[in-house]
């Protein structure tokens, strides 16, 4: 499988470069996803190693990281947006691109099914129910690796009070305050519905609530150590009692989860 993985890396590098253009906006978007792909692939590999997975599983995790956003390049070229609701689901698009690649057929069918399941579910609100442990494990790995890097990409935007630093394809709401219904979701420690976002504060909170959806303590420690959580919290408005309750709940959760050891039943 090592040779096949090398072939995949080389195809992906050429594929991403094939979208390079003289148009600055498009080029920035393509470069951003190229960089994201590199970081997420590395995170997947590292996380799989930290979880004590065998070489075959590490390679599958690396493959999932490499291809998880392969649909983004076609999405941006066709629709000029990374917004799935205005174009199409980029994970489904990734699966269509993978369908066209002859070397995917070199994978044993059970491995191909695992890779496709993990990629297809990486951007969904929750992992679709499955009894297959490999599928579930790879889906958890890619969701964590992806979020870890998205915090890096969005940091200037999530911690600032203006659109400064926001990648140009992100639509910016000007109001800072978290909406009252979002604040109550934060107090309850639940996930918010993206479609209900009304303010810039809501958008920050949605990303902060991802913390409750992180699967492994390895990932959570990396997110916390990078300062992403503290920086987002410091920029949240309004600073009132309800907000503090949400923050306390989140910080308590982080403390407990970071103290856990990741264990895998395979
Ligand atoms: Fe994605």
Give per-residue pLDDT as tens, 123-168.
Answer: 998 999 999 999 999 999 999 999 999 999 998 888 865 554 455 5
Residue 156 inside a domain? The answer is no
Span from the CA of 38 to the centroid of ligand 1 (angstroms) = 13
223 and 116 fall within a common domain:
no
Span from the CA of 122 to the centroid of ligand 1 (angstroms) = 6
Span from the CA of 143 to the centroid of ligand 1 (angstroms) = 9
> Given pLDDT bands bounded at 50, 70 and 90, which one contains residue 263?
confident
Q: Residue 34 sits in which domain range?
A: 2-147
pLDDT at 172 (0 to 100) = 53
Number of domains in the chain: 2
Q: What angle do CA 33, 34, 38 make, to 5 degrees?
A: 110
180 and 118 fall within a common domain:
no
Span from the CA of 245 to the centroid of ligand 1 (angstroms) = 31
pLDDT at 166 (0 to 100) = 53
193 and 107 fall within a common domain:
no
pLDDT at 243 (0 to 100) = 97
CB 74 within 8 A of CB 95: no
17 and 65 fall within a common domain:
yes
Q: What angle do CA 209, 245, 141 make, to 5 degrees?
A: 25
Span from the CA of 115 to the centroid of ligand 1 (angstroms) = 14
pLDDT of 226 strictly over 70:
yes
Span from the CA of 13 to the centroid of ligand 1 (angstroms) = 17
17 and 103 fall within a common domain:
yes
139 and 186 fall within a common domain:
no
Span from the CA of 249 to the centroid of ligand 1 (angstroms) = 28
pLDDT of 114 strictly over 70:
yes
Span from the CA of 241 to the centroid of ligand 1 (angstroms) = 35
What is the rounded CA–CA span in Å between residue 87 and residue 32?
19
26 and 102 fall within a common domain:
yes
Average pLDDT on 246-257 reads: 97
Span from the CA of 25 to the centroid of ligand 1 (angstroms) = 19
pLDDT of 111 strictly over 80:
yes
- Cβ count within 10 A of residue 118: 29
What is the rounded CA–CA span in Å between residue 165 and residue 225?
21
Residue 154 inside a domain? The answer is no
Span from the CA of 4 to the centroid of ligand 1 (angstroms) = 23
Q: Among 143-157, 194-208, 249-263, which stretch is predicted with the lowest mean pLDDT?
A: 194-208
Residue 155 inside a domain? The answer is no
12 and 116 fall within a common domain:
yes
What is the rounded CA–CA span in Å between residue 206 and residue 179?
11
Residue 143 inside a domain? The answer is yes
pLDDT at 174 (0 to 100) = 63
Residue 265 inside a domain? The answer is no
pLDDT of 222 strictly over 90:
yes
Average pLDDT on 244-249 reads: 97
Span from the CA of 120 to the centroid of ligand 1 (angstroms) = 9
pLDDT of 251 strictly over 60:
yes
Instruction: Give residue-wise pLDDT tens across range 139-150.
Output: 999 999 999 999
> Given pLDDT bands bounded at 50, 70 and 90, which one contains residue 173?
low
pLDDT at 171 (0 to 100) = 56
252 and 216 fall within a common domain:
yes
188 and 109 fall within a common domain:
no
**pTM: predicted TM-score of the whole model, two decimal places:** 0.93
pLDDT at 11 (0 to 100) = 97
- Look up residue 194 and give its two tokens: 């993206």
130 and 181 fall within a common domain:
no
What is the rounded CA–CA span in Å between residue 248 and residue 149?
25
Span from the CA of 66 to the centroid of ligand 1 (angstroms) = 11
Residue 218 inside a domain? The answer is yes
What is the rounded CA–CA span in Å between residue 248 and residue 254?
10
pLDDT at 195 (0 to 100) = 80
CATH of residue 63's domain is: 1.10.3210.10
Instruction: Give residue-wise pLDDT tens across range 36-60.
Output: 999 999 999 999 999 999 999 999 9
The long-range contacts involving 67-70, CB below 8 angstroms and separated by at least 24 positions, are 67/8, 67/12, 67/94, 67/98, 67/115, 67/119, 68/37, 68/40, 68/94, 68/118, 68/119, 68/122, 68/142, 68/146, 69/33, 69/36, 69/37, 69/40, 69/94, 70/12, 70/15, 70/94, 70/97, 70/98
pLDDT of 120 strictly over 60:
yes
134 and 14 fall within a common domain:
yes
Span from the CA of 242 to the centroid of ligand 1 (angstroms) = 32
Residue 200 inside a domain? The answer is yes
Distances 44 to 51, 61, 237, 244 between C-alpha atoms, Å? 11, 6, 34, 34
Residue 162 inside a domain? The answer is no
High-pLDDT (> 70) share of the chain, %: 93
pLDDT at 170 (0 to 100) = 55
* Of 238, 123, 120, 223, the residue nearest 186 (C-alpha): 238
Span from the CA of 91 to the centroid of ligand 1 (angstroms) = 6
């Amino acid at each position: 499988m090592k040779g096949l993985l090398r072939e995949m890396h080389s195809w992906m590098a050429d594929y991403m470069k094939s979208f390079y253009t003289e148009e600055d906006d498009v080029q920035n978007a393509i470069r951003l996803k190229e960089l994201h792909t590199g970081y997420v692939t590395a995170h997947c590999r590292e996380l799989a190693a930290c979880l004590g997975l065998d070489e075959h599983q590490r390679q599958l995790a690396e493959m999932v990281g490499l291809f998880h956003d392969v649909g983004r390049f076609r999405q941006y070229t066709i629709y000029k947006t990374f917004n799935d609701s205005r174009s199409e689901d980029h994970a489904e698009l990734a699966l269509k691109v993978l369908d066209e690649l002859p070397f995917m057929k070199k994978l044993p069918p059970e491995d191909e099914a695992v890779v496709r399941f993990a990629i297809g579910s990486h951007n969904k609100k929750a992992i679709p129910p499955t009894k297959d442990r490999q599928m579930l494990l790879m889906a958890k790995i890619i969701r964590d690796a992806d979020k870890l890097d998205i915090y890096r990409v969005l940091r200037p935007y999530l911690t600032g009070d203006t659109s400064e630093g926001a990648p140009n394809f992100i639509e910016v709401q000007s109001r800072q305050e978290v909406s009252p219904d979002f604040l109550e979701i934060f107090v309850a420690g639940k996930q918010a519905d993206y479609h209900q976002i009304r303010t810039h504060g809501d958008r920050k909170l949605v990303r902060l609530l991802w913390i409750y959806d992180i699967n492994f303590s390895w990932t959570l420690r990396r997110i916390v150590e990078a300062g992403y959580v503290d920086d987002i919290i410091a920029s949240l408005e309004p600073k009132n009692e309800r907000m503090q309750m949400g923050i306390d709940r989140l910080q308590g959760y982080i403390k407990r989860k970071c103290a856990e050891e990741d264990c895998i039943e395979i």
